[in-house]
Amino acid sequence: MYSNFSSGNNRRPSSYKYNPSSYNRNRRPNRNRRRTRNRIIIVLTGLVALVLVVSIISSFFNCLCSGCSNNKGSTLDTSTVNTKTTKATEKLPDALTLNFKEPDIEDDGSDGEMSNNLYLWNKTAFELFYGSDDSAKAYAKTINQLKKKLGKDISVFDMVVPNHTEMGLPARLKNVEGGATTGSQADYIKTLYKSLDKSVIPVSCYNALSKHCNDYIYFNTDHHWTGLGAYYAYTAFAEATKQKALPLSKCEKRTIEGFTGSFVTMLGSDSGLKTDTVNYWTFPYSVPTTITNANGSTNDFASCYYPEAGAGSNTYGVFLWGDNPVEVIKSECSKAKDKILIVHESYGNAIVPYFTYNYKEIYSIDFRSWNGDLYKYCKENEIKNVLFVNGVMSSATAFQVQSMAELIP
pLDDT digits (tens, 9 = 90+) for 240-299: 999 999 999 999 999 999 999 999 999 999 999 999 999 999 999 999 999 999 999 999
How far apart (Å, rounded) are the C-alpha atoms in residues 328 and 118?
36
Q: What is the DSSP string of 105-169?
A: --------EEETTEEEETTEEEE-----HHHHHHHHHHHHHHHHHH-TTSEEEEEEE--HHHHHS
Handedness of CA 337, 349, 285, 215 (dihedral sign): negative
pLDDT tops 70 at residue 77: no
What SS3 class is residue 253?
Answer: strand
How far apart (Å, rounded) are the C-alpha atoms in residues 394 and 403?
11
Q: What pLDDT score does 64 carry?
A: 41
pLDDT tops 70 at residue 20: no
Enclosing H/E stretch for 41? helix 20-66
Contact 114, 221 (CB under 8 A): no
pLDDT tops 90 at residue 104: yes
In the chain, the amino acid numbered 293 is N
Q: What pLDDT score does 37 carry?
A: 62
**Nearest-CA neighbor of 395 among 351, 350, 354, 345?**
345
Lowest mean per-residue pLDDT among 91-95, 167-171, 224-228, 338-342: 91-95
Contact 131, 395 (CB under 8 A): yes
Specify the pTM: 0.80
pLDDT tops 80 at residue 83: no
pLDDT tops 80 at residue 72: no
* Percent over 90 (pLDDT), the chain: 77
pLDDT class for 91, splitting at 50, 70, 90? confident
CA distance readout (Å), 233 to 84, 196, 207, 393, 401: 22, 20, 9, 17, 22
Torsion on CA atoms 219, 183, 130, 170, rounded to nearest 10: -30
CA angle 396-397-400, nearest 5°? 120
